[in-house]
């Protein structure tokens, strides 16, 4: 009986173990291919770091199995796989970027490895530290205040980069506050909507013959509109504005089940974008270079044309790791890392990554479906949407499906803030997905 | 549900693995360098007698060689493309770039000319040629290039008309230059450079009121443009409005202190007003700077005039 | 009934699904991007119908929203996947070719024009082109005398002095040795520099306009070549100088100095050969090496002891101060005069002069016979202060405190009455200076000026050489007679004229007398440390309305009345057109 119990916990997360192993096969297979074809030298220290990453991942999996709360088994390996792709690609891009743009790109692969490692530890902490999900509801105004302070601080002390004021210089690192803001927003919104769920469901009243929803219902819409407009005008960050709009509208829809308000939200967002369209050149440029990149092929359309060429060169099977020239696309290690992957791994690779995100979305929504209560359901759906919608916006943008907006590809793009927040999101999703967690962490 | 999804994921991940390691699996048999890759592609295209793809490969290889800084190879390959496709304007353009990189400007210009010949709307080729024409100051060709570019890039038309006007001015075709500046200002009424240059043209033709109008408007747009103050000051000087001229010279000198031409201008106005101490002070300051030959003559003239009046 | 409609709906949904899938597959191969986007949207919508029917039939109503969200998200990723298939597989070739055709290797592209800079921040507009201005050197202006006789002109690019004798006045314009004389002081006009306007230059530099070519101006001198010629001949080859001044204006009518040099010797032709160069250098070396200093313009630069001609000055000062009330005022002319203990006695040049002057005599007579002892007394009566004051009024300064030369157009020395003021504090020195010895050094020009002011009612005029400057018929400069000061009163001047007249009527200067022209004059004989004394002569004529003042010096010429007087006489006779 004792033995069978032991065996049982060992095998309870066999799918996760299998998937993790596959992910690490990809990681080390990719690194080996790079070493052989591109003669990239990966330092022992870096290899040690990656080994640590693998170890923590396995340990987390085993620890979850031993604890037996029954977390989702696909989410963690998904993160591991995408982070592996990121490490491989940055190892591959690092020397090219260094040669092309110089000093600023020193050791980006190493830095990314550190971020991945820190992210993994962060996720493990969220999974294993016994915090209560209830706290998220309880301290709602703390989160709201923190979010507002972040926005204000960024507006006044932010560092401008590529025309968007998105960065806070903390001295030792450049921090992207919108990433944290994204998380805070989802938490606050989930709290708010869950609190007012009943009220929002009730009837309408009329002013001047126009049918209006009750005020608390209007508030989230107005908030959404104001926030996204603020982001677009003050921070000139179209991507994050779009992401916030999508997340909020999705959560709104989940609570109300009324498509009308989603339509209203979309109309408001488009109206906002249309309003600033004539005054803000960057919106116009984004739109024009999406609609026809050939309008200004050496200027506004340059990046997207290079990206399309990069993808097309990749073809079905890709040029092979280290064989292409992905660094010719500006921002190839951040916003355009997806096309870099596409050039070297081909359609198969890009489809696999797309599939990963799709799978992640499905798993996230399944977690939401099975959540214990309305709040956790909203939270899980919101977090999932935040992550996969971000992936969609940048993937669709770099493939010229929708207008390009600068935003990171979660887990893959170079950058600490994004990496850490993505790991925090999966940590929380795993916590929510634990189907038989004890009451003291509820 | 979870199990089913996991199997999905598993299969996808395997796909990814395959994709990532595909080229790596066939490592030994596959070409290892890019150059060999091109060579192999050329061999297959030749075997298939596929002219079009052969040209494309040469073109790519030439571009690659260019990016590696191997311009001689790039030129050879571009020429092969041109042999295969004699009207390939892109190849001509890139050939021109390679020549220009080697400093063979004349060959480069001829290559760009061919590119333009086969593609009358080839903006890039026009712009690349422009670099060399501007470098060698080949004014008549510049004039026609600017004119064509103004047609091809309507958004930039104002700038091109303006540049054309400047080139025509250098050719002493004042009438043509005036038309060009007028076109530039019609396309962009706030093109301050064109306002200034048209002002100079008006000034040169003795239309002083019109010149001052142009300078006024250029200054309203660019209140820090010292040379416009200087030009307006000279115009005022021609009208014998020396006090106003001195104000403008002084403003120009505040913006760009110790500029010899501004100092000499002000000195000549002081001289006309009979204020010899101010004039000689400005002259001394001007002499401290770098004077070109004309300014030297002007400084001498002021100095002689001051000497005469001291006697 | 309900299940039947459900079946219907499901069938239709599946049909739509098929159509959608077909559309999407077809669209993947379409070249038109816009059309592809439309097809993608339509296709995905049609594909979504099937899952939507299933979601609609989902048992847990509260989960339907989540399922719908999942569906939308899945469709979004499906769209990305389809876009990738098109971009990387089905339509990859055309995309590649399109981009390839456009790509040009490494962008060394023409940077867009500077208009990108914000308008308000621009510090300079326009092309910044400047037009260098080349000035043509005009043919140098000519120089002529007052009646238009050309004296200097440019011939085949070479300066030609038609009258080489005038080098002291006109100077030269030599490429090797620079410019001197009028050529230097009026270079501004002669070279055409006067016509260059600095503002014209600045304007032409900015605008590329033409500026008028500089125009050389011609000079007309106050010299009267007729008189000048006579003076030159009269002086001949004797070292000395002659100056003739127009009394009313100060215009210098003749100015002769000997020895002189020919300025043409110093002029190089435009395309000079080595031989030309050497010839010029040799000529210059010879001029420089000549011990008689031919470069020196004795008329304006030669400083000589004045001898007795200075008595004119002393007499004028005495009359003006009232020390001598009139030309008839009494004065003694002793043979010897002791002025101061332990100093030599003042003597007259001729023994027993009082026999000629009478004793007691008067101013006219002591002047006519140049009585030293009488003028020593007058000097003592005047006193040092008066003497200094009047010296300054006559343009004579002190070596320690020299005056500015009155003639500005050529190099000129100003005369001095003494080396320092304290010299005159000694009565003997004062007496000596008053009759013509002592430290005084004067130029012939000073002496001519001294006589001229007497003829001009006591007003000293500034002497000048250039009458007018003209260019293309336009007068650029016209000499305006300039009164420097009222040196003595008109009454004193009138009295002095009487004194001068009597000097000719009864005195040593009587040989100057000309028919029909009344001349006033004074002779002088200046002692020199070695050799014969310098011969001086000054004169003014006609006395009724004085026109010319003349000063003559002949170095080591001996008695003024013997050697200098005839020169002056010839000059005046020719000036007035009379035969002596």
Task: Give the residue extent of every domain in chain B.
Answer: 51-121, 137-223, 227-311
Distance CA A272, CA A261 (A): 16
From chain A, pick out residues whose CB is under 8 angstroms from the CB of C102. Answer: 294, 297, 305
Looking at B205-214, B220-229, C6-15, which range is the least confident one?
C6-15
Are C444 and C373 members of one domain? Answer: yes
| d(C-alpha C301, C-alpha C309), whole Å | 18
Q: 């960065």: which residue's tokens? A: A167
User: Most distant CA pair in chain A: distance in Å?
Assistant: 74
DSSP H helices in C142-263: 167-170, 181-185, 187-190, 198-207, 225-235
Residue B308 pLDDT grade (very low, low, confident, very high; cuts 50, 70, 90)? confident
Q: How much is the mean pLDDT over chain B?
A: 85
The CA distances from residue B44 to A315, B39, B63, in Å, are 19, 9, 20
Lowest mean pLDDT among A139-148, B158-167, B228-237: A139-148
Cβ–Cβ contact C65 with A under 8 A: yes
**pLDDT computed for residue C110 by the predictor:** 46
Provide mean pLDDT across the span C388-410. Answer: 92
B24 pLDDT more than 70: no
Q: Is C201 on the interface with B (CB under 8 A)?
A: yes
Q: Nearest C-alpha of chain B: how many angstroms from C190?
A: 13
C78 and C137 part of one domain: no
- Integer CA distances (angstroms), C273 to C269, C277, C280, in order: 8, 6, 11
Q: Is A197 exposed, middle or buried (0-12, 13-18, 19+ CB in 10 A)?
A: middle
Report the CATH fold assignment for B227-311.
Answer: 1.25.40
Does pLDDT of A245 surpass 50?
A: yes
- Residue B120 CB: number of other CB atoms within 10 A? 12
> Whole-angstrom Cα distance, residue A349 to residue A336?
15
DSSP three-state, residue A408 = coil
- Give Cβ neighbours of residue C66 (< 8 Å, ≥ 6 apart): A254, A365, A368, A369, A377, A381
Please check the confidence at residue C387 and state whether its pLDDT lies above 70: yes
Q: Kindly report, residue by residue over C458-500, the tens digit of the pLDDT.
A: 999 999 999 999 998 889 899 999 999 999 999 999 999 999 9
Asked if residue C119 is part of any domain, the answer here is no
pLDDT-derived band of residue A196, with 50, 70 and 90 as boundaries? confident
Report the residue from A298, A308, A355 with minimal CB separation from C109: A298
User: Is C393 part of a structural domain of the chain?
Assistant: yes
Q: What is the pLDDT of residue C356?
A: 86
> Which residues in chain C have Cβ-Cβ distances shorter than 8 Å to B227?
124-126, 128
Torsion angle, alpha carbons of C265, C266, C270, C272, to 10: 80
Q: What is the pLDDT of residue B259?
A: 92
- Based on the domain organization, do C277 and C308 belong to the same domain? no
Domain with C319, as residue range(s), is 298-576
**Chains touching chain A at 3 or more Cβ pairs under 8 angstroms?**
B, C
Residue of A nearest to B24 (CA): A33
The neighbours of chain B, by the rule of 3 or more Cβ pairs under 8 Å, are A, C
Short-list C578, C577, C526, C576, CA closest to C555: C526
pLDDT in tens, A85-117: 999 888 888 877 877 776 667 788 888 999 999
Q: What is the predicted pLDDT for the residue at A211?
A: 52
* Residue C112 DSSP one-character state: P
Domain count, chain C: 3
Query: Can you give the pLDDT at residue B201?
Result: 92
Do C55 and C152 fall within a single domain?
no
Task: Tell me whether residues B23 and A30 touch, CB distance under 8 A.
Answer: no
Identical topology for domains B137-223 and B227-311: yes
Quick: pLDDT tens for A1-46. 455 666 777 778 888 888 888 888 888 888 888 887 766 678 888 8
pLDDT of residue C312 exceeding 50? yes
How many CA within 13 A on the CB side of residue A61?
25
Is residue C242 assigned to a domain? no
Q: Is C35 on the interface with A (CB under 8 A)?
A: no
> Is the CB of residue B20 less than 8 Å from the CB of residue A26?
yes
Read off the pLDDT of residues B94-120 as tens digits, 9 standing for 90 and up. Answer: 899 999 989 999 999 999 999 999 988
Would you say residue C366 lies in a domain? yes
pLDDT given for residue A346 in this prediction: 85
Which one of C247, C281, C315 terminates a domain?
C281
Residues of A in contact with B23 (CB under 8 A): 33, 37, 317-321, 323
Query: Please, which residues 90-109 of chain B have a Cβ atom closer than 8 Å to chain C?
Result: 90, 93-94, 97-98, 100-101
Nearest CA in chain C to A315: C88
pLDDT in tens, C22-54: 999 999 888 888 899 999 999 999 999 888 888
Question: Do C88 and C155 belong to one domain?
Answer: no
The DSSP output letter for C464 is: B
The residue behind tokens 């910044």 is C128
> End of a domain among C96, C121, C152?
C96
Whether C43 and C136 map to the same domain: the answer is: no
**pLDDT band with cut points at 50, 70 and 90 for residue B25:** very low
Asked whether residue C303 falls in the same domain as residue C276, the answer is no
d(CA C536, CA C207): 64
CA distance C208 to C199: 13
Kindly tell me if the per-residue pLDDT of C248 is higher than 50: yes
Which CATH number does the domain housing residue C276 bear?
Answer: 3.90.1310.10
Dump pLDDT digits (tens) for A324-378.
777 777 777 888 889 988 888 888 888 889 988 998 998 899 899 888 888 888 9
Q: Is the pTM of this model over 0.80?
A: no
Q: Do C120 and B94 touch (CB under 8 A)?
A: no
Instruction: Taking residues B38-43, report their average pLDDT.
Output: 79
Least Cα separation, residue A99 to chain B (angstroms) = 12
Contact A365 C79 (CB under 8 A): no
Of A250, A305, A358, the CB nearest to C99: A305
Nearest to C161 by CA among C183, C139, C177, C176: C183
Please give the helix or strand (H or E) that residue C313 lies within, else none: helix C310-321
C276 and C309 in a single domain? The answer is no
Closest residue in B to A315 (Cα–Cα): B19
Residues 6+ apart with CB under 8 A from C90: C28, C29
C-alpha torsion angle, residues B157, B160, B161, B162 (rounded to 10): 120
C395: helix, coil or strand? coil
Mean pLDDT of chain C: 89
Asked if B43 is an interface residue toward chain A (Cβ–Cβ < 8 A), one would say: no
Chain B residues with CB under 8 Å of C469 CB are none
Q: What angle do CA C68, A371, A266 make, to 5 degrees?
A: 35
Residue B122 has what pLDDT? 85
CA distance A338 to chain B (A): 14
Tell me if C254 is assigned to some domain: no
Q: What is the mean pLDDT of residues A47-57?
A: 93
pLDDT greater than 70 at residue C109: no
Per-residue tokens: A390: 């971000």
Subunit contact C88:A315, Cβ cutoff 8 A: yes
C215 and C274: one domain?
yes
Helix (H, G, I), strand (E, B) or coil at C536: strand
Q: Among B122-136, B195-209, B258-272, C370-384, which stretch is predicted with the lowest mean pLDDT?
A: B122-136
Q: For residues C136 and C214, is the Cβ–Cβ distance under 8 A?
A: yes
Quick one: C357 and C437 in the same domain? yes
Residue bearing the bigger pLDDT, A173 or A405: A405
CATH label, B51-121, candidates 3.30.1300.10, 1.10.8.350, 1.25.40.10, 2.40.30.260: 1.25.40.10
Residue B28 in contact with partner chain A when CB distance is under 8 A? no
Q: Which residues of A touch C103 (CB under 8 A)?
A: 309
Please state, as a whole number, how many other Cβ atoms lie within 10 Å of the Cβ of residue C171.
26
Q: Chain B 199-258, CB below 8 Å of chain C: which residues?
A: 200, 203-204, 218, 221-228, 230-231, 234, 237-238, 255-256
Q: What is the mean predicted confidence (pLDDT) over A283-298?
A: 78
Picking from A297, A290, A294, the residue whose alpha carbon sits closest to that of residue A273 is A290
pLDDT-wise least confident of A227-231, C37-41, C104-108, C444-448: C104-108
Does C283 score more than 70 pLDDT?
A: yes
Q: Residue A268 corresponds to which tokens in the numbers above?
A: 């408001």
Residues with Cβ within 8 Å of B161's Cβ and at least 6 positions away in sequence, in order, are B146, B150, B180, B181, B183, B184, B187, B194
Contacts with A73 from chain B: Cβ below 8 Å:
2, 6
- Cα separation, C117 vs B267, in Å, equals 32
Query: May I ask the CATH class of domain B137-223?
Result: mainly alpha
- Mind listing the pLDDT tens digit for each residue in C435-450? 988 899 999 999 999 9
Mean pLDDT across the stretch C205-232?
Answer: 91
Selected for mutation to probe chain B from A12, A26, A430 (highest B CB count within 10 Å) is A26
Q: How near does any CA of chain C get to the CA of B74, in Å?
A: 10
Q: Give 3-state DSSP helix, strand, coil % of chain C, rounded to 5.
A: 45, 15, 35
When pLDDT is cut at 50, 70 and 90, the band that residue C105 belongs to is low
Q: Which of C44, C75, C96 is the last residue of a domain?
A: C96
**Whole-angstrom Cα distance, residue C442 to residue C440?**
7
Please measure the distance between the N-terminal and C-terminal CA atoms of chain C and give it in whole angstroms: 162
Can you tell me which residue has the tokens 């003494």? Answer: C418
Of B220, B219, B264, which Cα lies nearest the Cα of B246?
B264
Q: Do A396 and C63 touch (CB under 8 A)?
A: no
| Residues ≥6 apart with Cβ < 8 Å to C462 | C250, C406, C407, C408, C481, C482, C483, C484
Tell me if C248 is assigned to some domain.
no
One domain, residues C277 and C313 = no
C505/C404 same-domain check: yes
Summarize the confidence of residues B237-261 as an average pLDDT.
93
Q: Is the ipTM, as predicted for this complex, more than 0.85?
A: yes
What DSSP character marks residue C110? P
Among the residue ranges A246-250, B176-180, C394-398, C553-557, the one predicted with the least confidence is: A246-250
pLDDT in tens, B54-67: 888 888 888 888 87
CATH number of the structural domain spanning residue C307? 3.40.710.10
pLDDT category at B311 given cuts 50, 70, 90 is: low
How does pLDDT run across B67-95, given as a tens digit for each residue? 778 889 999 999 999 999 888 888 899 89
CB contacts of C84 in chain A (<8 Å) are: 311, 342, 347, 350-351, 354, 399
């Amino acid at each position: 009986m004792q033995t069978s119990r032991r065996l049982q916990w060992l095998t309870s997360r066999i799918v996760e173990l299998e998937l993790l192993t596959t992910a690490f096969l990809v990681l080390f297979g990719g690194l080996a291919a790079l070493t052989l074809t591109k003669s990239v030298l990966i330092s022992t220290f870096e290899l040690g770091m990656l080994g640590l990453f693998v170890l923590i991942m396995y340990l987390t999996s085993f620890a979850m199995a031993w604890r037996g709360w029954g977390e989702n088994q696909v989410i963690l390996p998904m993160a591991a796989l995408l982070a592996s792709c990121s490490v491989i690609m940055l190892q591959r891009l690092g020397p090219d970027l260094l040669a092309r743009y110089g000093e600023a790109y020193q050791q980006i692969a190493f830095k990314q490895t550190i971020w991945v490692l820190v992210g993994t530890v962060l996720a493990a902490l969220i999974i294993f530290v016994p915090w209560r999900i209830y706290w998220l509801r309880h301290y709602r105004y703390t989160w709201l205040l923190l979010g507002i302070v972040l926005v204000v601080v960024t507006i006044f002390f932010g560092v401008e980069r590529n025309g968007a004021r998105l960065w806070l210089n903390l001295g030792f690192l450049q921090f992207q506050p919108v990433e944290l803001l994204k998380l805070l927003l989802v938490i606050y919104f989930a709290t708010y909507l869950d609190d007012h769920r009943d009220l929002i469901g009730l009837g309408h009243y009329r002013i001047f013959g126009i049918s209006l929803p009750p005020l608390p219902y209007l508030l989230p819409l107005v908030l959404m509109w104001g926030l996204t407009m603020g982001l677009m005008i003050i921070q000139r960050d179209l991507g994050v504005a779009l992401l916030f709009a999508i997340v909020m509208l999705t959560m709104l829809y989940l609570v109300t089940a009324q498509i009308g308000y989603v339509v209203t939200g979309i109309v408001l967002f488009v109206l906002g974008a249309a309003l600033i369209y004539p005054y803000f050149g960057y919106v116009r440029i984004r739109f024009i270079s999406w609609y026809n990149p050939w309008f200004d092929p050496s200027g506004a359309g340059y990046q997207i044309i290079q990206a399309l060429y990069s993808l097309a060169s990749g073809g079905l099977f890709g040029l092979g790791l280290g064989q292409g020239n992905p660094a010719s696309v500006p921002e190839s290690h951040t916003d355009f890392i997806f096309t870099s992957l596409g050039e070297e791994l081909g359609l198969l690779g890009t489809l696999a990554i797309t599939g990963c995100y799709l799978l992640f979305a499905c798993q996230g929504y399944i977690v939401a479906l099975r959540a214990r209560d309305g709040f956790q359901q909203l939270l899980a759906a919101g977090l999932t949407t935040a992550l996969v919608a971000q992936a969609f916006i940048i993937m669709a943008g770099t493939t010229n499906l929708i207008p390009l907006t600068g935003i990171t590809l979660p887990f893959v793009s170079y950058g600490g803030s994004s990496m850490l927040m993505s790991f925090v999101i999966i940590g929380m999703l795993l916590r929510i997905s634990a189907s038989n967690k004890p009451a003291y962490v509820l | 549900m979870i199990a089913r999804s996991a199997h999905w994921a598993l299969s996808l991940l395997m796909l990814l693995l395959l994709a990532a390691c595909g080229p790596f699996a066939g490592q030994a048999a596959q070409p290892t360098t890019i150059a060999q890759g091109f060579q192999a592609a050329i061999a297959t295209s030749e075997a298939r007698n596929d002219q079009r793809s052969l040209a494309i490969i040469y073109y790519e290889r030439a571009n690659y060689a260019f990016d590696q800084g191997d311009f001689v190879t790039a030129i050879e390959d571009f020429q092969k493309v041109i042999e295969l496709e004699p009207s390939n304007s892109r190849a001509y353009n890139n050939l021109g770039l390679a020549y220009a990189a080697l400093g063979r400007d004349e060959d480069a210009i001829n290559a760009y000319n061919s590119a333009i010949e086969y593609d009358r709307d080839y903006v890039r080729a026009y712009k690349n040629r422009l670099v060399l024409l501007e470098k060698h100051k080949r004014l008549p060709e510049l004039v026609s290039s600017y004119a064509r570019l103004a047609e091809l890039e309507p958004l930039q038309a104002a700038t091109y008309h303006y540049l054309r006007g400047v080139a025509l001015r250098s050719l002493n075709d004042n009438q043509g230059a005036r038309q060009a500046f007028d076109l530039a200002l019609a396309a962009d009424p706030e093109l301050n450079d064109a306002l200034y240059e048209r002002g100079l043209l008006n000034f040169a033709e003795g239309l002083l009121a019109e010149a001052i109008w142009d300078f006024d408007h250029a200054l309203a747009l660019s209140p820090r443009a010292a040379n416009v103050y200087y030009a307006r000051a000279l115009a005022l000087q021609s009208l014998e409005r020396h006090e106003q001229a001195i104000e403008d010279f002084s403003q120009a000198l505040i913006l760009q202190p110790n500029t010899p031409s501004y100092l000499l201008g002000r000195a000549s106005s002081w001289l006309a007003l009979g204020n010899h101490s101010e004039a000689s002070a400005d002259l001394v300051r001007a002499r401290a700077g770098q004077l070109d030959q004309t300014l030297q003559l002007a400084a001498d003239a002021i100095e002689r005039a001051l000497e005469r009046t001291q006697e | 009934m309900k299940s039947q409609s459900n079946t219907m709906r499901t069938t239709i949904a599946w049909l739509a699904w098929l159509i959608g899938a077909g559309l999407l597959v077809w669209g993947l191969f379409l070249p038109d991007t816009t059309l592809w986007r439309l097809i993608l949207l339509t296709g995905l919508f049609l594909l979504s119908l099937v899952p939507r029917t299933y979601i609609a039939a989902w048992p847990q109503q509260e989960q339907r929203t989540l399922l719908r969200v999942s569906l939308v998200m899945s469709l979004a990723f499906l769209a990305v996947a389809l876009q990738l298939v098109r971009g990387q597989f089905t339509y990859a070739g055309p995309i590649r070719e399109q981009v390839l055709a456009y790509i040009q290797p490494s962008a060394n592209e023409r940077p867009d024009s500077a208009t990108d800079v914000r308008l308000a921040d621009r510090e300079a507009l326009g092309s910044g082109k400047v037009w260098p201005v080349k000035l043509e050197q005009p043919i140098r202006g000519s120089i002529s005398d007052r009646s238009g006789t050309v004296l200097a002109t440019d011939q085949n690019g070479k300066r030609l002095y038609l009258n080489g004798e005038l080098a002291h006045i006109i100077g030269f314009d030599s490429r090797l040795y620079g410019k001197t004389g009028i050529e230097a002081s009026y270079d501004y006009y002669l070279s055409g520099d006067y016509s260059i306007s600095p503002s014209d230059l600045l304007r032409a530099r900015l605008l590329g306009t033409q500026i008028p070519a500089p125009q050389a101006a011609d000079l007309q001198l106050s010299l009267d070549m007729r008189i000048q010629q006579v003076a030159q001949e009269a002086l001949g080859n004797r070292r000395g100088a002659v100056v003739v001044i127009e009394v009313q204006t100060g215009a210098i009518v003749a100015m002769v100095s000997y020895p002189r040099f020919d300025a043409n010797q110093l002029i190089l032709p435009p395309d000079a050969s080595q031989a030309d160069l050497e010839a010029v250098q040799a000529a210059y070396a010879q001029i420089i090496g000549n011990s008689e200093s031919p470069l020196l313009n004795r008329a304006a630069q030669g400083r000589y002891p004045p001898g007795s001609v200075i008595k004119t000055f002393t007499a004028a000062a005495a009359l003006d101060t009232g020390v001598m009330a009139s030309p008839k005022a009494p004065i003694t002319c002793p043979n010897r005069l002791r002025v101061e203990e332990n100093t030599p006695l003042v003597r007259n040049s001729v023994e027993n002069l009082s026999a000629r002057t009478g004793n007691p005599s008067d101013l006219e007579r002591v002047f006519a016979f140049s009585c030293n002892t009488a003028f020593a007394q007058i000097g003592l009566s005047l006193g040092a202060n008066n003497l200094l004051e009047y010296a300054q009024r006559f343009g004579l300064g002190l070596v320690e405190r020299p005056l500015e030369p009155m003639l500005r157009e050529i190099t000129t020395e100003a005369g001095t009455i003494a080396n320092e003021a304290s010299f005159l504090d000694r009565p003997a020195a004062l007496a000596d200076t008053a009759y013509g010895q002592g430290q005084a050094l004067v130029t012939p020009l000073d002496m001519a000026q001294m006589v001229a002011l007497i003829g001009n009612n006591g007003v000293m005029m500034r002497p000048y050489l250039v009458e007018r400057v003209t260019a293309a018929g336009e007068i650029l400069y016209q000499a305006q007679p300039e009164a420097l000061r009222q040196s003595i009163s008109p009454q004193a001047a009138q009295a002095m004229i009487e004194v001068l007249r009597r000097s000719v009527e009864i005195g040593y200067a009587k040989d100057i007398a000309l028919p029909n022209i009344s001349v006033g004059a004074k002779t002088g004989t200046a002692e020199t440390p070695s050799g014969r004394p310098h011969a001086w002569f000054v004169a003014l004529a006609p006395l009724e309305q004085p026109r010319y003042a003349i000063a003559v010096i002949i170095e080591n010429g001996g008695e003024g009345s013997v050697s200098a007087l005839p020169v002056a006489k010839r000059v005046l006779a020719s000036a007035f057109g009379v035969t002596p």
